[in-house]
Amino acid sequence: MRTYDAGRCDIAVIGAGHAGIEAALAAARLGLDTVCFTVNLDSVGNMPCNPAIGGTGKGHLVRELDALGGEMARAADRACIQYRMLNRGKGPAVHSLRAQADRRRYQAVMKQTLERQEHLRLKQAEVVDIGVEGGRVVSVTTATGAVYACGAVIVASGTYLDGRTIVGETLRSSGPDGLAPAVPLAARLRELGLEMRRFKTGTPPRVNARTVDFSKMELQEGDPEPEPFSFATERAPENRAVCYLTYTNEQTHAIIRENLSRSPLYSGVIEGVGPRYCPSIETKIMRFPDKPRHQLFIEPMGLDTEELYIQGFSSSMPEEVQIRMLHSIPGLEQAEMTRCAYAIEYDCVDPTELLPTLECKKIAGLYGAGQFNGSSGYEEAAVQGFVAGVNAARKLRGRSPFILRRSDGYIGTLIDDLVTKGTEEPYRMMTSRSEYRLLHRQDNADERLAALGRELGLVSEERFRAVQEKYAAVERELKRLEETRLAPSAELNALLENRGTAPAAPGVSLAELLRRPQLSYGDLAPFDPGRPALSRPVTEQAEIRLKYEGYIKRQLKQVEEFARMEDRPLPSGLDYTAIPGLRLEAREKLQKIRPANFGQAGRISGVSPADISVLMIWIESHK
């Protein structure tokens, strides 16, 4: 291929999905000359799977990204059409915001954001080569022969890398939504010596809304008082769409069982490993044979389209089998399938090949983000893109790396899980993955991370002051609640009796009452005439702090213990194979992953507490 000199940039970002967007914006906003490449400009910010942002655990990631200065939450608030807070019946640690997005509106918002960003160029081009000299990246080359010299490359390739879509017996070399796959780049990454893996994900079918009988389904409305994703969004979002709920049945299950021999999942056609926590409908039926039905959520793709998305119905069955499956479901008996479901296989890197900065250990200046790193989901991709973009920029500027610990939040947990433990399947964030769920709530992400975003230069002084003022108001309200005492009254004791709790003692404080699980901040309003006019986020924070005070203190102590291990560094050039007393598996794992500290070493699968003790003794004796 004949090439030509296309000039120079500081950072080349390969891919403009959710990871590539955040990587490019973060790098450019830090003043680095950045070029973001995408195979098709019309696929910027595409949502090839579900048209939604957030969900259990994922909503936490979006809020944390927003607190650090990322873009996803702000774009969601401009493009989302229905908001629902999940898990309201449980504690605040697992409350997670999920919003239905207008798919095309979200893409348009993100594309324009990239186009308007200073120091950023958005280009339609397929990157086919990454130039490496002396163990570090020096350039990228496009399919048309353009060579861009650069100091860092961020691979955010999504499911395009040697992508293959599968519908029954029909196999095609393809990216998502019928777009071209990135085949030469996949070959080049293998050539560079990276340990690659083959993963799989899937999508459900889409149907035309005018062919659906909604009377046979359950209405799923948005929250009556929806909350926005971004802490900076001042106007409450508006719910402009509704969803519906229906179920599979025994007829659906029988059709699937009758056609299992034609399912690529069970015939051996699919080679990639799929996500355990988001299985296809075929897998659900086989994994839970006694379950009589499975939920299906019917969700709009946007305000200006009749297409509906069948969440929970991911499949790779032949098209005609998919149609039979659809027509067996209440409300979908006459549904016209506009797009059939498909599975997609793609290449990704073993994430233990990466440092906590998301830079490759073998090749300096080469970073990975999103599904290239073995994760699944738009939100997981976005936060990794942000971290990769920030670290690439900081390294080129000669600054210290940006590393979030597990004790900092869900982003730190996600990246630590990937680079320390690795993953044998597409990684999905869940609240259960965090040891500090009560500290790392979605509602306090701004308090936890806005200062870090300001230090990075991605959160403005004005926005940071707003966060400070918000939590100063929380402290004032907590002090007032502690100091405000109530005289006994028949009305108060009637409320307490009605709520199933003991009568109030003379001189009880509002704070003491609010610590009772049976009472809420709103319940006490009639007995609190001096209550100031405060925003819902402020009163929410005050109530959570009072109710969970003991648990929060306990987790803060755990964080202190964690920090002690994280602050004990391990020498970067340590030869673990030469340390006597370490088990063989521990030696191999430690030598491969090369942990930065004792905390990370202790989280490596195959490294036992006894191995850590041996390592500590050896380090102490060889100081």
Query: CATH number of the domain that 614 lies in?
Result: 1.10.150.570
How much is the mean pLDDT over the chain? 95
Residue 25 resides in a domain: yes
- Are 358 and 245 in a shared domain? no
Q: Which of 303, 332, 320 shows the shortest CA–CA distance to 312?
A: 332
Query: How many CB atoms lie under 10 A from the CB of residue 539?
Result: 18
Cα dihedral angle (169, 174, 178, 182), rounded to 10 degrees?
170
Inform me whether the pLDDT recorded for 623 exceeds 80.
no
Per-residue pLDDT of 413-440, as tens digits, reads: 999 999 999 999 999 999 999 999 999 9
Residue 441 resides in a domain: no
Tell me, what's the pLDDT at 349? Answer: 98
Query: CATH number of the domain that 540 lies in?
Result: 1.10.10.1800
Contacts for 360 with CB less than 8 Å, ≥ 6 apart: 194, 349, 353, 354, 366, 367, 368
- Are 330 and 352 in a shared domain? no
Tell me, what's the pLDDT at 266? Answer: 82
| Most confident stretch, 127-141, 494-508, 602-616 | 127-141
List, as own/partner pairs, every contact residues 496-499 make where C-beta atoms lie below 8 angstroms and the sequence separation is at least 24, other chains included. 499/523
CA distance 608 to 618: 15
Tell me, what's the pLDDT at 315? Answer: 95
Q: Which two tokens stand for residue 22?
A: 């955040």
Tell me, what's the pLDDT at 605? Answer: 87
Tell me, what's the pLDDT at 270? Answer: 83
Inform me whether the pLDDT recorded for 265 exceeds 90.
no
Q: DSSP E strands: which ranges in 143-181?
A: 146-149, 152-155, 164-167, 170-173
Please tell me whether residue 53 adopts helix, strand or coil conformation: strand
Tell me, what's the pLDDT at 126? Answer: 98
- Are 374 and 490 in a shared domain? no
Q: Which two tokens stand for residue 59?
A: 């909503």
Q: For 387-418, what is the HEC assignment?
A: HHHHHHHHHHCCCCCCCCCHHHCHHHHHHHHH
What residues pair up with 295 in beta bridges, in sequence order? 247
Residue 249 resides in a domain: yes
Residue recorded with tokens 């996500």? 275
Residue 255 resides in a domain: yes
Inform me whether the pLDDT recorded for 277 exceeds 80.
no
Q: Which of 255, 247, 244 shows the shortest CA–CA distance to 298?
A: 244
Residue 449 resides in a domain: no
Residue 565 resides in a domain: no
Residue 458 resides in a domain: no
Inform me whether the pLDDT recorded for 272 exceeds 90.
no
Range of 61's domain?
A: 4-203+346-434
DSSP assigned state of 226: P
Q: Which of 401, 387, 326 shows the shortest CA–CA distance to 351?
A: 387
By the 10 Å C-beta count (0-12 exposed, 13-18 middle, 19+ buried), 414 is classed as buried
Tell me, what's the pLDDT at 275? Answer: 79
Q: How confident is the model at residue 257 (pLDDT cuts 50, 70, 90)?
A: very high
- Are 371 and 284 in a shared domain? no
H helix intervals, 297-377: 319-327
Tell me, what's the pLDDT at 343? Answer: 95
- Are 173 and 214 in a shared domain? no
Which of 343, 365, 385 finishes a domain? 343
Residue recorded with tokens 């085949």? 183
Inform me whether the pLDDT recorded for 292 exceeds 90.
yes
How many helices and strands (H and E) does the chain possess?
A: 20, 24
DSSP assigned state of 364: B
Mean pLDDT of 389-416: 97
CA distance 93 to 420: 25
Tell me, what's the pLDDT at 488? Answer: 83
- Are 190 and 87 in a shared domain? yes
Mean pLDDT of 331-345: 97
DSSP for 65-99, please give it: HHHHT-SHHHHHHHHEEEEEEETTTS-GGG-EEEE
Mean pLDDT of 138-162: 98
DSSP assigned state of 525: G
Query: CATH number of the domain that 171 lies in?
Result: 3.50.50.60
Residue 560 resides in a domain: no
Mean pLDDT of 174-191: 96
Tell me, what's the pLDDT at 619? Answer: 87
- Are 508 and 610 in a shared domain? no
Per-residue pLDDT of 507-541, as tens digits, reads: 999 999 999 999 999 999 999 999 999 999 999 99
Handedness of CA 472, 478, 483, 486 (dihedral sign): positive
Least trusted range by pLDDT, from 78-92, 105-119, 560-574: 560-574
DSSP assigned state of 419: I
CA distance 324 to 320: 6
* Total tally of structural domains belonging to the chain: 4
